[in-house]
Amino acid sequence: MCGIVGYIGKSSASPILLDGLRRLEYRGYDSAGLATIDGGRIETRKCKGRIQALADLVKENAAAGHVGISHTRWATHGQPNDVNAHPHFDASGRLALVHNGVIENYQALRAPLVEAGHKFRSQTDTEILAHLIGNLYDEAGGEHSKTRLLEAVRGALKQVIGTYGIAVMHLDVPDALVGARRGSPLSVGLGKGENFLSSDPQAVIAYSQEAIFLKDYDVAVVERDGFQIGTVEGGVAGSYEVTKVDFTSDDVKLGDYPHYMLKEIFEQPHAVRDALRGRLSVEDAGARLGGIDMTPQELREVDRVIITGCGTAYHSGLVGEYLIESLAHLPCEVEFASEFRYRNMPMDKDTLVFAVSQSGETIDTLAAVRESLRKGHRTLGICNNVASTIARECGAGVYMHAGPEIGVAATKSFTSQLTIFTLIALLLGRIRHLSNSDGLKIIKELQAIPEKIERVLEQSDRIKEIAAKYAGAKGMLFMGRQFNYPVALEGALKMKEITYIQCEGHPSAELKHGFIALVEPDMPSVFITPDDAMYDSNINSIEQVKARQGPVIAVGTEGRRDLAKIADDVIYVPPCADYLSPLLTVVPLQLLSYHTAVHLGRDVDKPRNLAKSVTVE
C-alpha cells in the first residue's frame, strides 16, 4: 500500500528518495511523487503511474537539495492522477506533506478552511492535513523553528479522526523533517550525518540498518545529526528502542530470478527450515516456542483457540484449525480479521487468540488484535516482520523468520505459517494426549518437509507446460478436502490475484450442491487429492467433473498412477503425513498461478489493484 520515504543529510535527496520508493514498489501503488528543498524553493515532481515515470520527470528537470519527502500512493479518496498524487501543500505552498492512511473527518475539517479562503487542489483526504498544519504554523507567528512546526503538526493531529503515517517539511525550517503515526507504520532510520523517515525500513536498508519504529501517537523531529521523539499530546515519548534491521539489501535483491514471486516460491525449503530452527526438541518429543511466553500450566488451561487473519494468512489459519483439532484435540475456530470485532464471538477466559500476519501491519488484523486485547484475551502474533505493529501490540507470539516477502502474492509466508501452526499443534498436543512416540514421529515428518518441497520445485518446467495449456480458460475451480480444503481456497486466491482469471475454491464434495453447474470444457478443475483418507471421495468428485467434459488437473501423491487415468494432467508430490500435505500440495498451485500469469503477460509481482500490505480498512 502507500509508501513514505523522507531524507535529510549531506547527499542529494532525490536519488535516495527514488531508490527508497523503488524498494517499496512491490507494496502496490498507482502514483508517486517527491518534493525537495532546493535553496529557497520547494521542488515537486509527481505523476500517475510507475516510479520510473517519476524518475524520468526528475531526470528531465532535476529536483536538487539535501532534504526531501516522497510517496507512493494507492488511491482511496480521489482517482489515481497527477493532482491527487502526494506530496500535498498548504495554502502558502511552503509546507509539503505525504500521508499514508485515511483522514475520516476530512470533510468536516475542510469546511471552515474553505470558508476562510483556502483553495484545495485535489480530491484527497490528505490535503486537509497540509492546510491544517500550515494554517496553525502561520497563525503561531514568531520565529521560524522546528518547535513551531512540531507544535503545528501536534495541533492538527489532535483534530484528526482516522489513521496516518506522515512526513512533513517546511521551506522555513529546512533543517528538519517531522513524522508522526497513528495506525499506519512509520520508522526513523538512523545513519551517519543523515537520517530517514520511512513507512518500512526496507526502503532505506542500503543507507541505514538501525531503525526506531514509532508507536501510535508518536511524533518525531528528524535532523541531519539527531532526532527527538515525543507524542501528539506533547512531551517526550515514554520509551523507544533502536532495532537492528535483521536483513540486508542483498536479501531483497532479485538475483537470477525474473520475478520476486518465483524467487520466494523457491525459497520455501529454506523458509520452512528457518521456521523450524531451534524449535523442535527431541528431548521433549515436542516443540519449543519461547516467544509465546506461556507456562505449561497456562498452555494446559487453554480450552479453545481462535485464529484470525486476512487473505492468505486466513487460509493458513484454516489449515491451523485442522491441525490444532486433530493433533491437540482442542476446539478451534478461524475468523476473518475484518469480521472479528463485528462478530463479537463469545470467548471465555481460557480462549487463546492467534493473529496471523506476514506484514504485521494489516489494519483489519490489527483491529482484531486490539479488540481481543481490549476484552482481556491472551493474543499472540504470528508475524514475519519483526517489530511490526501487530507483533509489538501482541507482545508475544511466534516470528516466522521467512525473510522479506516482496511479491504481492504471498507464497513463502503461507508455508512458513503452516509450519508454525504444526509446531503450535504439537506443543498443545504434547501437553494433552499426544504420546512421546507420536511427538517424535511428527518431528521426523516435519524435518523431512524442506527436502520434499525441493522435489516439488524440480517440476517447475512441467508445471509451466500445464499452465500454458490452460491459460486461456475462462475460469478455474479449485477443490480439496479436509487439510487440503484451505489449500483449494489458497490456490484459487493465488490464481485470481495474479492472472485475473475468475477462480473459486471449494471443498470437493460441495461440487454436486451447486457449482457443478459451472463445469464445462473451458472451465478446468484443479483437484488437490493427495493419497490421504479423502482420496476415494476426491476421485468420486473428479469422475463427476469428467462426466461433464470438464478438464481436470490433479495434484496427487507419487505412486498413485491411477490418477493419471482419470485426470488430464497430474502433478505429483512426495508422500507425507496427511496433516503435513498442505506444505507440499500448495507449491504446485503457486507455480501454476505464476506460470499462467507469466504466460498471460501479467505484472506478476505487482498485480493490478492490489497492495502488499493493506493498511487501510
CA–chain centroid gap for 146, Å, is: 34
Among 135, 308, 362, 484, binds ligand M6R (CB under 6 A): 362
Is 612 catalytic? The answer is yes
* Residue 457 in contact with ligand M6R, rule: CB under 6 A: no
CA–chain centroid gap for 561, Å, is: 39
Is 2 catalytic? The answer is yes
- Strand-pairing partners, residue 229, are 220
Binding mask 219-258 for ligand M6R (x = CB under 6 A): ----------------------------------------
* Residue 199 in contact with ligand M6R, rule: CB under 6 A: no
Among 409, 453, 477, 570, binds ligand M6R (CB under 6 A): 409
SS3 content of the chain, % helix, strand, coil (to 5): 40, 25, 35
For residue 360, give the 3-state DSSP assignment.
Answer: coil
> CB of 431 within 8 A of CB of 438?
no
* Residue 311 in contact with ligand M6R, rule: CB under 6 A: yes
**Positive or negative CA dihedral for 447, 452, 453, 455?**
positive
* Residue 358 in contact with ligand M6R, rule: CB under 6 A: yes
Q: Read off the amino acid at residue 50.
A: R
Q: Read off the amino acid at residue 196.
A: F
* Residue 334 in contact with ligand M6R, rule: CB under 6 A: no
Q: Of the two residues 28 and 68, which places its CB atom closer to ligand M6R in the complex? A: 28
- The dihedrals phi and psi of 504, each to the nearest 5 degrees, come to -130, 145
Q: Which stretch binds ligand M6R (CB under 6 A): 5-13, 79-87, 162-170, 406-414?
A: 406-414
Provide, rounded to whole angstroms, the least separation between the CB of residue 199 and ligand M6R: 14
| Binding to ligand M6R, residues 583-612 (CB under 6 A) | 610
Q: Which of these, 560, 589, 595, 582, lies nearest to 478 by C-alpha position? A: 589
* Residue 262 in contact with ligand M6R, rule: CB under 6 A: no
Q: Of the two residues 482 and 590, which places its CB atom closer to ligand M6R in the complex? A: 590
Q: Which stretch binds ligand M6R (CB under 6 A): 200-208, 351-359, 429-437, 513-521?
A: 351-359
* Residue 319 in contact with ligand M6R, rule: CB under 6 A: no
Among 410, 488, 489, 555, binds ligand M6R (CB under 6 A): 410
Spatial strand order in the sheet of 475-480: 502-507, 475-480, 525-528, 552-557, 569-573
> CB of 426 within 8 A of CB of 287?
yes
- CA–CA distance, 88 with 125 (Å, rounded to integer): 10
* Residue 317 in contact with ligand M6R, rule: CB under 6 A: no
Provide, rounded to whole angstroms, the least separation between the CB of residue 388 and ligand M6R: 9
Between the CA atoms of 522, 528, 532 and 537, what dihedral angle is there, to the nearest 10 degrees?
-30
Q: Of the two residues 366 and 545, which places its CB atom closer to ligand M6R in the complex? A: 366
- CA–CA distance, 382 with 309 (Å, rounded to integer): 10
- CA–CA distance, 80 with 75 (Å, rounded to integer): 6
* Residue 415 in contact with ligand M6R, rule: CB under 6 A: no
List of residues 6+ apart from 435 with CB closer than 8 A: none
Grid coordinates representing 493?
Answer: 486466491
Provide, rounded to whole angstroms, the least separation between the CB of residue 536 and ligand M6R: 32
Active-site annotation holder among 48, 263, 452, 612: 612
Among 365, 372, 416, 541, binds ligand M6R (CB under 6 A): 365
Q: Of the two residues 208 and 357, which places its CB atom closer to ligand M6R in the complex? A: 357
Q: Of the two residues 44 and 365, which places its CB atom closer to ligand M6R in the complex? A: 365
| Binding to ligand M6R, residues 481-540 (CB under 6 A) | 493, 497
The residue number with the shortest CB distance to ligand M6R is 311
Spatial strand order in the sheet of 378-383: 332-336, 304-309, 351-357, 378-383, 397-399
List of residues 6+ apart from 108 with CB closer than 8 A: none
- CA–CA distance, 399 with 382 (Å, rounded to integer): 6
* Residue 312 in contact with ligand M6R, rule: CB under 6 A: yes
* Residue 310 in contact with ligand M6R, rule: CB under 6 A: yes
- Beta strands 525-528 and 475-480 are parallel
Provide, rounded to whole angstroms, the least separation between the CB of residue 523 and ligand M6R: 23
Q: Of the two residues 96 and 366, which places its CB atom closer to ligand M6R in the complex? A: 366
Binding site for ligand M6R (CB under 6 A): 310-313, 357-359, 362, 365, 408-410, 493, 497, 610, 613-614
The residues assigned a catalytic role are: 2, 612
